[in-house]
Chain A
Amino acid sequence: MTAQSRPRTSRIRFERVQEQPRWLMFVSPIILIGAALLVGALLLSLTGANPWFVYQRMAQAAFGDRYGWSDTTIKATPLILAGLGVSIAFRMRLWNIGAEGQLYIGAFCATGVALHLFSPETPAWLMLTAMAIAGFLGGAFWGFIPGVLKAKLNVNEIITTLMLNYVAIFWNNYFIYGPWSERGFGLTPQFPRNAWLPRFTDFGAAVPSFRGLTMHAGIFLALIVALILWVVWRRTKWGFEVSIIGDNPQAARYAGVNLARKIMIVMALSGGLAGLAGMAEVSGVVHRLQERFSPGYGFTAIIVAWLAKLNPLALIVVAYLFAGLLVGGDVIQPAGIAQLLQGVILFVVVGGEMMLRYRIRIERS
């Protein structure tokens, strides 16, 4: 290896910047989402679409008027609830990818209460409370299974939560095509009115501007849960323990935290909130259980939680943004653009965030 004869080569190196300026923390999400939209535009133009036109139409549909905002709120509701759910698990570095399935099971349990367990004459408050509890417990159970497997047998939760998504969807399909089906179609009969979450339009007589707004009370539930979690992370011992485990499970064990129990509880809570999202969706929007009632809320929730850096309040904002993306995606052909943009945004933000921590240096040797 005679070095003298070696041709001079230059290499590109990525160096970590030691201290990140504080303003960058706030500006970087905006830069990155802008960059993601640019990349998305590039990919869209590959399909022959005019990206500017696409974005404009999407934004118009989602945030153009109060009907748009209502539609966006409808989609933000399950995203916030399920997003809060997965963020609980993510805080502990448990990768609950199963929010979609937990959401389906929550919807299934709520449906069972509404159609089969309680009589249609049950007062609305009791009916809705029972449905919410059933939805939460259903989702919690679906999250608890991978939690137990992880805590007791160290089974990789990424795979188990994912597989349970498929199982949940087939479980639902069995019921909506089988025992609970309405005339063999992939749906159940409509819920009695007492099982509907109140919608804004229901108060149209009193508040005229509410007329036609189909957004429902679920959003308040979502906001309350976000607030509670915000307090939990900032003020409680429980939240502190979760953050220790999330940073270093070994240190948590050393500090006397019962890891196995916490894993199971966190996974159950995580699933429970996704289940609540499912309940809110069937009770507030579709008013029945039907095939594919969720356009992948459980998956989008993962992106939402991650982009919000697991902060419950930031999560509300991000959830609205992505809900807008879904609403906008509905008015755009071909289908899948929303999902494509979600993927691009997540990718660009994840990669870009690291990129901002580096400076690129070209080195001659």
Chain B
Amino acid sequence: MELALLVNLLAAGVRSGTPILFATIGEIFSERAGVLNLGVEGMMLMGAMTAYGVAYGTGNPWLGVLAAMGIGGLLALLHAFVTVTLRADQVVSGLALTFLGTGLSAVLGAPLVEIRSAPRLPNFRIPFLADIPVLGPIFFDHNVVVYIGFLLIPLAWFYIYRTRPGLELRALGEYPAAADTLGINVIRQRYFYVILGGALAGLAGASLSLAITPLWVEGMTAGAGWIAVGLVIFAGWDPVRGAMGAYLFGAIRRLPLDAQNLTFFLKNPTLGYFMNMLPYLFTIIVLVISSREAMRRRAGAPAALGVPYVREERGA
């Protein structure tokens, strides 16, 4: 009985951690390239809204996913232009992006709120693997986006640490001037990774509105995008640690819902409000721990994170 409950919770954690996972890995790419993008929440919301709308309009959820990634990338392109080319403050631009995404998705998505019938991404029970006790239901009986998440983790890791462009990506955020002198196009590559991050944030939104909580309401991400930004720090800019964090937070976010059935909570319904705080409090605690660790190991953020790259500029 207790085990079943735990398995249930972990499975739900993997499921609802998936959008956070996409957003986190996207932000890792962007920050590894040296660009902080605080617009994740806004890009996710636009992604979720667009995906839902396009899926409803075309009847094809996959087109919704593509459109969401496109819109995420487009918004990120805006951020890239403002911060990489115009060199405006990355914090402010990212905040503006979140405001914009939140507002625009609410306005454009208003007619979609009533609609509850957009096609969803399919669930897929992996034969045999899903029958393994405990692990089966946790990992192998899910919506397809969850499996896409499983695939993305090793791919992102391999790309960053084991490939030529990954090596360049790591240099980009640490020491862009060095990359530049070696013929790496810093500006173009930063654009690329910021847009990639935006596309993944869009995917995160799509996975939310087409699979995890299949509907559209304004503000439905409820801070998931911000949690992703926090998780990047926790992850030490590593996709595997980021994935672990995302699933952990997925589980914590599910806790108030899944724990409702426990008799203990039926007697104290208001405790739910405190359970709702948990993911946010946890983000803070996790940040405190990882900041301490970073201070000790001196293995913190990419050195050039948040700093615009300027080559051809000199004082008179």
Contacts and interface: CB of A to CB of B under 8 A. Distances in A.
The reply, when asked whether chain A contacts chain B directly with Cβ atoms under 8 A, is: yes
A49 B85 CA distance: 33
Given A174-B273, A351-B81, A153 B295 contact: yes
What class of interface size applies to chain A in its complex with B?
35 or more
A162 B103 CA distance: 18
B208 interface: no
Contacts of B47: none
Interface residues of B, number: 53
Contact of A347 (B96, B222, B295, B313): B96
A155 B291 contact: yes
B280 to A, nearest CB: 4
Interface in B176-223: 218, 222-223
B183 to A, nearest CB: 10
A334 interface: yes
Interface in B84-106: 85-89, 91-93, 95-106
Nearest to A101: B280
B287 interface: yes
A121 to B, nearest CB: 31
Contacts of B281: 163, 167
Contacts of B294: 154
B280 A166 contact: yes
Interface in B18-47: 38, 42
Q: Is the interface of B mostly helix, strand, loop or mixed?
A: helix
Given A14-B86, A166-B277, A303 B283 contact: no
Given A162-B226, A177-B273, A350 B103 contact: no
A170 B99 contact: no
Interface stretch (A59-67, A244-252, A353-361): A353-361
A306 B316 CA distance: 30
Contacts of B226: 159, 162-163
Given A343-B99, A354-B82, A47 B107 contact: yes
A340 interface: yes
B57 to A, nearest CB: 15
A350 B283 contact: no
A18 B223 CA distance: 41
Given A159-B283, A354-B87, A149 B103 contact: no
B316 A18 contact: yes
A204 interface: no
Given A159-B233, A163-B230, A174-B270, A339 B103 contact: yes
A350 B89 contact: yes
Nearest to A303: B99
A338 interface: yes
A92 to B, nearest CB: 13
Interface string B35-79: 000100010000000000000000000000000000000000010
A344 B82 CA distance: 13
Contacts of B223: 162-163, 166
Contacts of A355: 86
A341 interface: yes
Interface in B213-271: 218, 222-223, 226-227, 229-230, 233, 270
B86 A343 contact: no
A339 B30 CA distance: 26
Contacts of A160: 284, 287
Interface string A36-64: 00000001101100000000000000000
B276 interface: yes
A343 B230 contact: no
A182 B82 CA distance: 49
B106 A336 contact: yes
Contacts of B273: 170-171, 173-174, 177-178
A205 B227 CA distance: 53
A301 to B, nearest CB: 12
Contacts of B291: 149, 153-156
B288 interface: yes
A335 B110 CA distance: 8
Contacts of A155: 284, 287-288, 291
B274 A174 contact: yes
A185 B98 CA distance: 31
A30 interface: no
Interface string A303-335: 100100000000000000000000000000111
A153 B106 contact: no
A158 B81 CA distance: 22
A347 B82 contact: yes
12 contacts: A159-B229, A160-B287, A163-B280, A164-B280, A170-B277, A170-B280, A174-B274, A335-B110, A336-B218, A343-B96, A343-B98, A350-B88
Given A149-B287, A159-B283, A334-B106, 17 more contacts: A159-B230, A160-B284, A160-B287, A163-B281, A166-B280, A167-B280, A170-B277, A171-B277, A173-B273, A303-B95, A303-B99, A342-B103, A343-B97, A347-B78, A347-B99, A351-B82, A351-B93
